[in-house]
Amino acid sequence: MRRTNKNNKGGTQCQSTLLTVILTTLIQSVFGVGVLLFGTPMLLLLGLGFVNALLVLLPISIAINSLQLLKHYRYVDIGFYKNVLIYSIPFVVLFLWIITSVKINISALVGGLLILVALKAISPVVDKALRPLFNYERTYLAIMGVIHGMTNLGGSLLTAIVYGKPYQKDQTRATAASCYATFALFQLAVLFFISHEFDVSYADNIGFLQVGVVTFLLAEEMLYSKIDNKKYNMLFAGFLLASGILLLVKSL
């Protein structure tokens, strides 16, 4: 009986993870970020550990961003991308290694960050207070690397700085996608080099990846040209705020 309950619990978590993959893939298909930014807090809320959440989400994020770049790689801002490589990636690697080594419960940290980003998106006062950070791009990128390494949520800061630049639609998504894919590649490399027990099976991971790719291909044709950015920003802020509050409650 206990084994049956355990199997039922595992099946329910697998289904919930699959739904999370579909939802976050739809978001990333349009904006270049989303699978890690939204998927991480959702999988933490479902009870999956941080490292196992990374193991599920990173391959999907890499696959989607790679498909996006195949079509729009010419639009990538190479200068900005080089700055991300120099000032963000070393901190992503270092702080991911630290967080997986000391096994800190980061739910409260993730929740607090989500609330801050949500307030920035909906409050002109908070947005105005944080905007001067964009003038110090190197420092901003280093902070982004620290946050992404520790929480997997640097996509929120990446989106903020990329969308703050005078890019056209394709250049915005391509630049965000190239940076996001690079984050994920280095994170995945760190996970392979450290010794850690994974709870998610290889077969499940392949299945999640296949669903993510198919979802992206459908969304690319049906959604990308039709999304209302203003409406998305409000939904984005509301989702972050709700997820942040739930994670803070969960961490108590």
Name which of 44-58, 72-86, 196-210 the model is least confident about.
196-210
What's the CA gap between 222 and 118, in Å, rounded?
27
Ordered DSSP codes for 171-208: HHHHHHHHHHHHHHHHHHHHHHHS-----S-HHHHHHH
The span from the CA of 189 to the CA of 200, in Å, is 17
Q: d(Cα 247, Cα 252) in Å, to the nearest integer? A: 9
Unique residue bearing structure tokens 């990446």: 158
164-184 tens-digit pLDDT: 787 887 888 899 899 999 999
pLDDT tens for 232-250 read 566 666 766 776 786 677 6
Measured in whole angstroms, how far is the alpha carbon of residue 202 from the centre of its chain? Answer: 21
Contact 38, 24 (CB under 8 A): yes
Task: Report the C-alpha gap between 64 and 78 in whole angstroms.
Answer: 20
Q: What is the pLDDT of residues 115-171, one digit of tens each?
A: 776 777 677 887 777 677 667 899 999 989 998 998 888 887 787 788 778 788 788
Using CA atoms, how far apart are residues 89 and 32, in angstroms rounded to an integer? 18
Length of the chain: 252
Helices (H), the chain: 2-31, 35-45, 50-72, 78-87, 89-102, 107-122, 124-130, 137-151, 154-163, 169-193, 202-222, 229-251
- For residue 73, what is the DSSP state? G
Q: What's the mean pLDDT when you consider all of the chain?
A: 82
Burial 224-233 (b: 16+ CB within 10 A, else e): eeeeeeeeee
pLDDT in tens, 8-40: 556 678 889 999 999 999 888 877 678 988 898
In angstroms, the CA 222 to CA 216 distance is: 10
What's the pTM?
0.80
pLDDT confidence of residue 133: 67
User: What percent of the chain is predicted at pLDDT more than 70?
Assistant: 79
